[in-house]
Structure 1
Amino acid sequence: MDIETLLRGHPDWLAHLESGGPATIAFPDDLADELVRLAVPHEDIGAVLATLPEPGGPLWWLAERCVGSLVSAMGGLDPPPAFPDLPELGPYFFVHVFVAALPYTRRYHREHGVPDEVSRATLADLGRNMAAHRKRHGTGGLHHPRWFMRHARGILYELGRLQFERVRMGVRTGEGVRAAGLPAGPGDLALSVHIPDFKGPMTPAACDASFERAREFFPSCFPAERFLIATCHSWLLDDQLAGHLPASSNIVAFQRRFHLLHRCDTGAALEFVFGAEAAAEWPRRTRLERAIADHLAAGGEWYGRAGWLRL
């Protein structure tokens, strides 16, 4: 594989990597144990170890600069260019990058007083997203490497059932909040709520506990920032779900927390609910699977939806 030729196909990203320079990286002697701590699926650990980049080689050069990109934007709300999906680098290259960045991420956590249990839970999302990749594609790898950049840069934290990301509101969401009479709008700080996979039911009690932890965590660890609003952009906020699920469902209860705004992406429900399973084989094992599949079979379409709530 010719790394130089590959990167020339992404000139803006290459220019960013070259301008920022490398970070010093090393892999721990107990890397297998580290991968277990990160919840990396057991079937992937051997392959992650076997494909480590060699010091001085082209993948090492690239890994140093990817980690340098993360470090250069550590804690900042303005992200660096997203890591592109580059299967030519192998399924585990960005896993190596995020593992190499751990010392920098953990130092940032310590500097901001992030409790150890929150740091561990947050970083274990690496393994969860490797499991998500296998669920969606049937092979080993990391699902959307750009997603874990948030964790590695110290802007996203897992607090119980939910994750919270330090963001600035976009135009449409911010205008919706301002129109409701709140003293916040586009560009103002907010916490973006994410619902991780593989964590069991999102019960009202579990979500209540997560929001309460967020109200305590962020003023403690980021006292210079004031978060008045939480936002969410998710297929779980598609109000069509309320027409297919009982009023007592956890998803409907979650939707009721938010003031719903505009529709956004389409198709995410299929990816999250069915993974790699083909349309002809959509299972109907749960009420949610039946709702998604039956709505599509009737010619309907599912959407993402934006929403907000006051913290």
Structure 2
Amino acid sequence: MCMCERIGLQQEVIEKVLAFDKAFSYDSVKDEMDQLLNFQAANEARIRLKGKLGEDQNGIKILTCMVKCLERTYDQYSKLGISEQIFIDTMNCFPRFIAEHKASYGTYGFDRDWWTIRQIGMKLFRIGELEYELTYEDEEKVTSIHIPSNARLTSENCKISYVNSQKFIETYYPEYKESRYICQSWLLSPALKELLPSTSNIIGFQEAFEVSEWNKEEDDFVEWVFKKKYDDYKELPEDSSLQRNMKKHLLNGGFVGAAFGQLQKNPWC
């Protein structure tokens, strides 16, 4: 099975990736691709790589190079004994991001290369419904929780994911065993308590965190809730109750933003 199929890329995208792969000589970008596997150097390498690749309207060139790198990432997973299912679930971010691009702009495209260096460099793993990034905050090791757009945030799913993440970290990254779990997301915004019923899975998710900061000016939530950025909130779609409630809230001068929180003990019980 080729890597494109293993991670579930869309067939139309696979054809474009394989065509570029066949025609491209990787010798000119060997150093940059080697460094994509080293997270500390990956971002600068990614920028240099994109410069060498030149015009890349739909991101197929950088996607192909990253998929090529995943062959070595897969080898590292195998050497450590990390399951193939975690590899597949983690790297499913690639087809997910491509599908989100199509939902926003009408065509398949890849524009999240700035983010997927985390998956390639084995700093971020999807375990069940949630993703866990092994990182630092003020030089302290922390485990940062990320919420994929297709996550089903029931309390049971979140609890299972959290418990399994603890086992995963203890087994493969024991230096993070005692790390705090943190999260920064629009899903933790206190404003959502006014926009969603108390029975909402989102409210249940955020109640597991002790929120300490709320950046009301952050606007990334627009792209997640409404599928793309809008300069004029009057143009926001109203296809769901959350969209309708949030649009009304924003037009009335309200804020959503993003909040930072720390996971409490025994979450989602």
What's the TM-score once normalised by structure 1's chain length?
0.75
Q: 1:266 aligns with which of 215, 218, 230?
A: 218
* 2:82 partner SS: coil
Which residue is equivalent to 1:179?
A: none
2:10 matched to 1:41? yes
Partners of 2:187 and 2:258 within 8 A in 1: yes
Distance of 1:52 and 1:304 partners within structure 2: 39
Task: Answer with 132-141 or 147-156: which moved more.
Answer: 132-141
Offset, 1:63 = 4.1
Task: Give SS of 1:39's match.
Answer: coil
Q: Which runs of 5+ in 1 are unaligned?
A: 1-29, 170-185
The correspondence for 2:139, drawn from 172, 184, 187, is 187
Match of 1:96 among 64, 82, 85: 64
Higher mean alpha-carbon deviation, 103-112 vs 209-218, is at: 103-112
Q: 2:174 aligns with which of 223, 232, 246?
A: 223
Shift, 1:67, TM fit: 1.5
Match of 2:187 among 236, 240, 258: 236
Return the alpha-carbon distance in structure 1 between the equivalents of residues 169 and 156 of structure 2.
20
* Counterpart Cα distance in 2 of 1:292 and 1:61: 50
The partner residue of 2:89 within 103, 121, 140 is 121
For 1:249-288, what aligned pairs fall within 5 Å after superposition?
A: 249-264=200-215, 266-276=218-228, 279-288=233-242
Identical-pair percentage: 24
Greater CA drift, 113-122 or 147-156:
113-122
Supply the AA of the counterpart residue of 2:43: P
Which of 251, 255, 258 is the matching residue for 1:304?
258
Structure 1 residue 257, shift from structure 2 partner: 0.8
The reply on whether 1:214 has 2:165 as its aligned counterpart is yes
How many residues align structurally? 256
What is the DSSP-based 3-state SS (H/G/I as helix, E as strand, rest coil) of the residue aligned with 2:144? strand
Q: Deviations over 1:103-138 (max 9, x none)?
A: 221122123221121111111211111112222333
How far did 1:61 drift? 4.5
What runs of 5+ residues in structure 2 fail to find an aligned partner? none
C-alpha displacement of 1:54: 3.1
Deviation, 1:237, is 0.8
How far apart in 2 are the matches of 1:54 and 1:118?
31
Runs (4 or more) in structure 1 with deviation over 4 Å come to 84-87, 277-281
TM-score with structure 2 length normalisation? Answer: 0.85
Partner of 1:150: 118
Q: Once the 2 structures are TM-superposed, how far is the Cα of residue 50 of structure 1 from its aligned partner?
A: 2.8
Letter in 2 for 1:303: G
Q: Provide closer, same or farther for how the CA distance between residues 310 and 302 of structure 1 changes in structure 2, counting only shifts above 3 A.
A: closer
Q: CA deviation at 1:301?
A: 3.0
CA distance in 2, matches of 1:80, 1:126: 17
Residue of structure 2 equivalent to 1:70: 36
Provide the rounded CA distance (Å) in 2 between the counterparts of 1:198 and 1:298.
29
